Structure 1
Amino acid sequence: MKVTEQPITLPRSTVYNMGSTHTNRDYRISVSVPEGEAPSEGYPVLYVLDGNALFPLCAESARVLKGRGIRGFGPLVVVGIGYLTEGNFPADRFYELTPPTDRASLPPRPGGEEWPPTGGGDNFLRFIEEELKPAIEEAYPIDRSKQALFGHSLGGLFTLNTMFTKSDLFQTYIAGSPSIWWSNRCVLEAEKAFTANRTVEPDPTPVRLLMTVGEEEASHPNRMLHNAEEMYQRLKQLEENGLSVDFHVFPGEGHLSVLPGLIGRAIRFALHK
Structure 2
Amino acid sequence: MTIRNWGPLTLALLLAPLPAIAADAPSLKIVSEGPAPQRRAIQLIVHSERVGRDFAIQVTAPGTPPILPGQMAPAVYVLDGGYDVAGPTGWLLGGAGTMAPAYIITVGYPPGGPYTRERDLLFGPGTRPDGTVAKGGGGAAFRAFLLEELKPLMEARYPLDPKAAVLFGHSLSGIFTANMLADRPEAFRGYLIASPSVWADPSVIDRLKAVRARAGGRKVFVGYGADEEPYMVQGGRGVAEALSGDPEHLTLKVQAFAGEQHISYYPVLMSAAFPFLLPRAAPIRRPSPITLTPQQSHRYFGTYVLSDGRQMTIGEDEDGMLLQVPGMPPTNIYAEALDRFYVHGVDARLTFEPGDQPPSAVRFYVNGAEAVARRVQ
| Structure-1 separation of matches of 2:124 and 2:219 | 25
In the alignment, structure 1 segments of 5+ residues that lack a partner are 1-6
* Identity within the alignment, %: 30
Deviations 1:13-71 (A, max 9, x none): 111111111111110011111234406431110000001xx25311111222333x34x
* TM-superposed deviation, 1:266: 2.9
Residue of structure 1 equivalent to 2:219: 208
Among residues 83, 86, 95, which one is paired with 2:109 in the alignment?
83
Residue of structure 2 equivalent to 1:186: 203
Please say if residues 55 and 79 of structure 1, whose CA atoms lie closer than 8 Å, have aligned partners that are also in contact: no
Question: Closer, same or farther in 2 for the Cα pair 1:64/1:226, shift >3 Å?
Answer: same
- Partner SS, residue 119 of structure 2: helix
| Structure-1 separation of matches of 2:241 and 2:64 | 41
Larger radius of gyration: 2
Among residues 177, 188, 204, which one is paired with 1:170 in the alignment?
188
| Structure-2 separation of matches of 1:8 and 1:23 | 23
Please say if residues 46 and 270 of structure 1, whose CA atoms lie closer than 8 Å, have aligned partners that are also in contact: no
- 1:1-273 equivalences under 5 Å are 9-38=37-66, 40-51=70-81, 54=82, 56-67=84-95, 69-70=96-97, 72-85=98-111, 91-101=115-125, 103=126, 105-108=127-130, 117-183=135-201, 185-195=202-212, 198=213, 205-217=216-228, 220-221=229-230, 223-240=231-248, 242-272=249-279
Deviations 1:57-93 (A, max 9, x none): 11111222333x34x2232100001001459xx8511
For 2:271, give the aligned amino acid.
G
Normalised by the size of structure 1, how large is the TM-score?
0.81
Please say if residues 45 and 78 of structure 1, whose CA atoms lie closer than 8 Å, have aligned partners that are also in contact: yes
* TM-superposed deviation, 1:237: 1.5
| Structure-1 separation of matches of 2:61 and 2:80 | 19
Normalised by the size of structure 2, how large is the TM-score?
0.60
Moved more, 155-164 or 114-123: 114-123
| Structure-1 separation of matches of 2:117 and 2:184 | 20
Question: Closer, same or farther in 2 for the Cα pair 1:23/1:244, shift >3 Å?
Answer: same
| Structure-2 separation of matches of 1:262 and 1:116 | 26
For 2:226, give the aligned amino acid.
E
Please say if residues 45 and 77 of structure 1, whose CA atoms lie closer than 8 Å, have aligned partners that are also in contact: yes
| Structure-1 separation of matches of 2:86 and 2:158 | 18
Moved more, 10-19 or 136-145: 10-19
| Structure-2 separation of matches of 1:117 and 1:234 | 26
Higher RCO, Cα 8 Å, sep 6+: 1
RMSD after superposition: 2.4
Please say if residues 148 and 174 of structure 1, whose CA atoms lie closer than 8 Å, have aligned partners that are also in contact: yes
| Structure-2 separation of matches of 1:37 and 1:80 | 18
Please say if residues 109 and 115 of structure 2, whose CA atoms lie closer than 8 Å, have aligned partners that are also in contact: no
| Structure-1 separation of matches of 2:166 and 2:252 | 14
| Structure-1 separation of matches of 2:123 and 2:276 | 26
For 1:27, give the aligned amino acid.
F
Question: Closer, same or farther in 2 for the Cα pair 1:56/1:44, shift >3 Å?
Answer: same
Alignment length, in residue pairs? 244
| Structure-2 separation of matches of 1:155 and 1:149 | 10
In the alignment, structure 2 segments of 5+ residues that lack a partner are 1-34, 281-377
For 2:102, give the aligned amino acid.
L
Moved more, 39-48 or 17-26: 39-48
Deviations 1:206-247 (A, max 9, x none): 211100011101xx15x111232233223212223x111110
Moved more, 122-131 or 55-64: 55-64
| Structure-1 separation of matches of 2:275 and 2:109 | 26
* TM-superposed deviation, 1:119: 1.8
Question: Closer, same or farther in 2 for the Cα pair 1:14/1:249, shift >3 Å?
Answer: same
Moved more, 227-236 or 173-182: 227-236
Deviations 1:153-210 (A, max 9, x none): 0111011100010000000000111111114x13224324424xx2xx6xx5221110
